[in-house]
Structure 1
Amino acid sequence: MVSAITHGIKVTVETEYQPQYSNPSHAHFVFSYRIKIENESEYTVKLLHRHWIIVDANGLERQVSGEGVVGQQPIIEPGHSHEYSSGCNFNTSIGKMKGSYTMERVFDGKKFNVAVPDFTMTVPYRLN
């Protein structure tokens, strides 16, 4: 589990290998990740946009951008959080992601970026 705080917004990521959806003999590795976004600031914020940089063990990079997260643009009050789960697949048994969210303070419309910390996804047998 990794965490980062930017402008009072804490992002925590936890990952899990999904063997039931993976097929290692065909270089197909699937991972899920759970993200918790905690608003430790004094302002209500809205998550507008996400941007991901995804890199496999061969150095192949892809980028993904879009509105919100899993079809939502959550509004997070001070002291509250939003959690969601998603997934990523790789052609290698190890990969990593990092990214950012574009947030907006609700009261004045000021936009700012929040870092999503680098997180690694590794099949468990690679850790031995």
Structure 2
Amino acid sequence: MSNSNIHDIRVEVDTRFLQGQSNPGKARYVFAYTVTIHNQGEVAAKLLKRHWLITDSNGKVQEVRGDGVVGEYPYLQPGQNYEYTSGTILETPVGSMEGSYLMESDDGDTFDAIIPPFRLAVPGVVN
């Protein structure tokens, strides 16, 4: 028997450039990102930890690890979504983020929910 549908967490991200908080002359580009976490699996699961890799166009990588997201540990029943907004600062007008959430399901398993890579870009910089 396959457990492929038991733990199925899908992550979507929308980004936006915060021009008013950025200062290109000082290599400061501020981005907000809104994450929507979908529990498409068959078992409820709680988000325990986050792990991000944030890369700018110079190849500089910031690694971020922490407990929960925005001070919370969302618990998602099957079919539920959880949305939050956070932000990051880059030294370049283009970069990317990717990572994972460590989840614990009601059946006692822990697993990683993958956050696919997404781009951070100042509008008009990248086609």
Instruction: State the TM-score, normalizing by the size of structure 1.
Output: 0.91
The size of the alignment, in residue pairs, is: 121
Amino acid of the residue matched to residue 61 of structure 2? E
- 5 Å matches for 1:1-128? 7-106=7-106, 108-127=107-126
CA distance in 1, matches of 2:11, 2:79: 13
Matched position secondary structure for 1:25: helix
Structure 2 gap segments, 5+ residues each: 1-6
Task: Tell me the SS of whatever aligns to 2:71.
Answer: coil
Q: Tell me by how many angstroms 1:125 deviates.
A: 2.4
- The alpha carbon displacement at 1:109 in A equals 1.7
What is the CA-CA distance between 1:92 and the residue it aligns to?
0.4
Runs of 4+ in 1 over 4 A off after TM superposition: none
Counterpart CA distance in 1 for 2:114 and 2:85 is 17
Pairwise CA distance, 1:68:
0.6
Question: What is the percent sequence identity of the aligned residues?
Answer: 45
Instruction: Report how far residue 127 of structure 1 moved.
Output: 2.7
Give distance in 1, aligned partners of 2:88 and 2:64: 11
Deviation, 1:119, is 0.6
The TM-score normalised by the length of structure 2 is 0.92
Give 2:63's aligned amino acid: Q
**Cα distance in 2 between the residues matched to 1:84 and 1:93:** 23
Distance in 2 between residues matched to 1:127 and 1:58, nearest whole Å: 15
Secondary structure of the residue aligned to 1:49 is: strand
User: Which secondary structure state, in structure 1, belongs to the residue aligned with residue 125 of structure 2?
Assistant: helix
Kindly report the root-mean-square deviation, in angstroms, between the aligned alpha carbons of the 2 structures: 0.9
Q: Give the unaligned 5+ runs of structure 1.
A: 1-6
1:29 counterpart letter in structure 2:
Y
